[in-house]
Chain A
Amino acid sequence: MDSLPEPPSTVGLYVHIPWCVRKCPYCDFNSHEHHGPLVETEYVACLLRDLDAELERTSATIETVYFGGGTPSLFRPSAFGELLEHPSLQHVREVTMEANPGALECKSFTDYREAGINRVSVGVQSLDPDSLVKLGRIHSPNEARNAVEEALKAGFNSVNVDMMFGLPDQTIDMAMTDLDELIQLGTEHISWYQLTIEPNTVFGKRPPKVASDDDRADMSDAGLERLAASGFRQYEVSAFAHDSGEFACLHNVNYWRFGDYLGIGAGAHGKVTLENGTIVRTQKTRRPEDYMRDQKTRTREINREELPVEFMMNVLRMNEGVENAHFGCRTGLSLDGLEPTLSQSREQDLINAHRLSLTEFGRNHLNSVVERFL
């Protein structure tokens, strides 16, 4: 029987820092090139006000914080320190900050760690000089290597590196060399994902020449093999954690388990289960100037018809998926409502028998499977 979902006891907090040194041609996030001095202090004050307002929606404990961007590492460590002193953030287990190699001059990772950051994600993207230029990145391979080395030395709980494949003019061999070099950097976590040409980006308007669908599928297969052979366990489509410890990103896993999260900062998104059982999505004003005048929030209820597909879009990304009962916990809906789609997908060997997780075949056709729940 359908009922109403209980608000979860823990939530994540996403904090958006919307500025970049330069906008990359493939990026469709809410990022803005900045010129002149950053208004750090004012922005942090806005974030704190925003957080206070968001906390009205929930009585759950914030367990993870993720500073994303844009380029959060443009902000000084002290800015994060100030924010992390907020009373609601005294029980957090994981605090991730995204850092870009070209935007770290004069700042040390040790200072960020001392300010309370315990996980860093470095946007390497590629270690091939030509590819970096084609991606419009401002850093060189060596700057990337140095940044990662520094991050590893600083003593974070875990360091992630982002890399893309299927880059302009990239062959399978090039992609594998790129990945091998990345693995050798020795981080605990790797996000390795295919370049997606998004509309409303420079690449969207003038698409670069990339390998064929089949060649990129070959790259992906070869890369998955390399990563596995090097001790990296895939736990999500593009996320790999080293099996020498528990290195999966808690904050992201919470998204993928269709958990709740608060979103603060310009253009940030959140998803919260209210006390009355309705689930809402929140979004902040996108332009930084507007956001700093008024931290306006738009909220929209996710209605019951939308819940199954939104749930599946997330949980099926994870290799282990979720237990069947989790669907009811998060959505309040009965799994029976997904019939006959669910049984059909199981018969077609797309979804595993006793869990909401994909088979290997299903993992290659994630979108087609999710689409069925629309």
Chain B
Amino acid sequence: MRKRESGHAMIELAASAAVMLACIAGTFEFGYTFFVYNQLVTAVGNGAKYAATRPWSARDTEKTNTAIRNLIVFGEPEPAAGAQPVVAGFTPENVDINWTVEAGKPQAVAITIRNFTVNAVFAKFTFSGRPGVEFPYVGSAK
């Protein structure tokens, strides 16, 4: 009788431990993914503000875009060699920059994240097209 009882307890423990571990894994998964998403929202917002106020010229669009991408990914327009991205696995290629140019003057800049995968150990989430922001251009265009 006693033995059967302790067996019961073991089965109960095993069943509830499985549920609990799943919950803990899920919590980590979503918690970490939301944390990374929030970092991306902040980074993209900061990058867009920088892009919206930075001097712009049609000739230097590539140079401008590189600086914006660096600011978003590394936190500064000209990062030192070996700089760490704001979130693991984030590269300048994940940042899409889209200028709306009318009559040679930029009107707005849209910045979106493209194909960025968050590795939350228990699952992977890929963000494409979000987070994304659009800012009006208010800087001085040459």
Partners in one complex: no
